[in-house]
A and B are shown apart, each in its own frame.
Chain A
């Protein structure tokens, strides 16, 4: 009896989780914070080097803060910019988790966006409750199918997904250019490549116009949060997510355990593509209202950085998406009020990524911020 009790006690104790590791906390929280600080300092030095005087630098950073979180409108802009970055970033993170490097979010976003636009202008008279979900679905499905091509080629032939997705991006760019000149897509009376406008019934409605009619934030942000929860649930709660993570962390062990590697690759790619397609739909249905050449404007590539910065964790991706959204919104304000080039924001973003990718460098710059590394001590 007592032996049984001690065994039960032992089983209980085995179920206890270790307290979060200090090193883990440092890596997840402190390193990114310091990386942002260093990047901002180096950004200031870059401005100095390009003959911007100190007061202007101060003004521009103030504008960065004001433009990203300084007002209701700024917050709205930040969130509006964060939504597609997060959506596409989630897809890329999903690929990373499964060991796939999906560079194709840009193309998937374009294809998904086109499908959403076409659905969005094609069915006049449909009630919004049907039309909007239909347009979103079209975006997700088109993005998923487009990425599925790369997944299928990878699984069936072993061709590398990096090359496949890069090539599919190029095809997507030209496909959009071509489609925008098709008579049934191109806006009537226009000679330049521009699509018809999305009908009101398919638009993602703005959600804070009751506070201020200028707030652009639309329902896409809710969609984004739902996607974060969904991806989190899939990755960590479901059999499919377990299979994704297993094939990423130990592809041979996953195969030996009877998981079907080829099928999983196709599913992961399709899932990632659907999220990128949804990001595209989010842009055309929520912000742009139509499609023009290159309407993806690099979101699919920035999303790679978002996924890396978020360490392929859904919450991390959300945080990184918000940061990038803030930089974008704030950057616009920087340009307007301080006259600093928007390119500088690109430099700062790049610096942040570089520093987060090199945690040892950040630890070296801020030795007092971290506990002494518990590696093999030199005595």
Chain B
């Protein structure tokens, strides 16, 4: 099935989300749709899915114009979408989730699960998905849940499958498996749209690339002929630097010393298992590892949020094993949490309020029991400018900012006070290239000024770009260490260590 979008314009009041977009999607081809957050990728695809009707322009399927009155029409026409946030019911089985809304029924509306399971198995085998139809969705890892979404779409006989940021939630291995599935779908003659802002992925998987910026198609091309730098420039509209400029590596004394640290999960299993780690002043230590190997628990233990079951933490010469979160803040530990919406910010609060979420008690911002809002607001305006937070007022709710701007609010809060150690967990997850570049530069600057930096990231490229020293965490322990400034560093060796292979 070939689909053509011709001259699609979508306006919301005075705001134009898409302007005169022409796009062709062909059977047996993966179209990569690249663009920053807010470039209009999602709006365009919701038009294609029948959720919005276009203000101007038309959609043609196999050359014939079609009109979708709602998502039902688009599904009937063979268009399916795998959303970034899964729409699954965790307490239902895979088969039950798949048939939801289009249940095969027998007499007297009896639910025909036997047929459903058989159909799920058939789809499974055709595309090598390997999902047990009887497993509870809530028990499945994220990668498999995504496959359930794929089965759902295929079960509804989709010929065009749209993937919206499909790899954002996947580990590196899961991404590999996912690409295999995408290729098998393509080889079966499905048309695929792959939406992302990750350059390396689009180059790897797409047969053709269209780049969207500010609602318009600004470039198209063949991934074999384009470099990441070309694509980034098209996407952002200016040349983007991928290397982080850092001063020559000159580490100082030991700033953070973790000795035999043990942290338990809620179910008393070991999250961090006798871990030793040092961070020096003027050094960026990157922790690589597949998610779920104790990185979160390690960060929570370092910042005083998780109870420490054993071992000691020393910071700048003092013992902080039992220090509270607030005390550690005061000693000069800054923390960029991994989940900015839940733990990093309060979306309903204003930018100004979020800027002082962990410094409001400081004498710069308060006098006795009272907060000096005047001073807070001024400092927030100052920090918004210094840290490139794009907004028109510090009284705007943080929840209304883009992901990149939200992250900059956190960076501004944590880095505009006097700190010695920065702990950053997934500092650039899910944000646009321009903001990533900016945040990386800020982190490098902190290190050049003599701060110690500890970075946890599931993006190996980020770890490689920033770190002076790379340690790999596996099952709560550090299993390998690499020199981050070594120009011949082996990505493969790190990947193997992440998978638990001992060198």
Contacts and interface: CB of A to CB of B under 8 A. Distances in A.
Interface string A250-294: 101111111110000000000000000000000000000000000
Nearest to B380: A14
B378 interface: yes
Interface stretch (B111-119, B167-175, B346-354): B346-354
Contact of A246 (B53, B342, B357, B381): B357
A171 B371 CA distance: 39
A15 B329 contact: no
Interface size of B as a range: 35 or more
Contact of A256 (B12, B335, B378, B382): B335
B13 A377 contact: yes
Contacts of B242: none
A268 to B, nearest CB: 15
B493 interface: no
A54 B12 CA distance: 49
Interface in B279-330: 303-305, 324-326, 328-329
A250 B13 CA distance: 32
Interface stretch (B141-149, B203-211, B392-400, B469-477): B392-400
Given A239-B371, A255-B305, A249 B346 contact: yes
Contact of A238 (B347, B369, B385, B394): B369
Nearest to A376: B12
A16 B324 CA distance: 37
Contacts of B328: 258
A10 B371 contact: no
Contact of B381 (A14, A18, A239, A240): A14
A11 interface: yes
Interface in B357-396: 357-358, 360-361, 366, 369-371, 373, 377-378, 380-382, 384-385, 391-396
A14 B370 contact: no
A370 interface: no
A242 interface: yes
* Residue from A14, A16, A18 having most chain B Cβ neighbours under 10 A: A14
B344 A253 contact: yes
Interface in B36-56: 52-53, 55
B343 interface: yes
Given A14-B381, A256-B325, A258-B324, A242 B346 contact: no
Nearest to B339: A252
B342 A239 contact: no
Nearest to A7: B385
Pick the 9 closest A-B CB pairs, nearest first. A250-B346, A258-B326, A257-B358, A258-B325, A14-B381, A11-B381, A257-B357, A256-B343, A249-B348
Interface of B: 12-13, 52-53, 55, 303-305, 324-326, 328-329, 335, 337, 339, 342-349, 353, 357-358, 360-361, 366, 369-371, 373, 377-378, 380-382, 384-385, 391-396
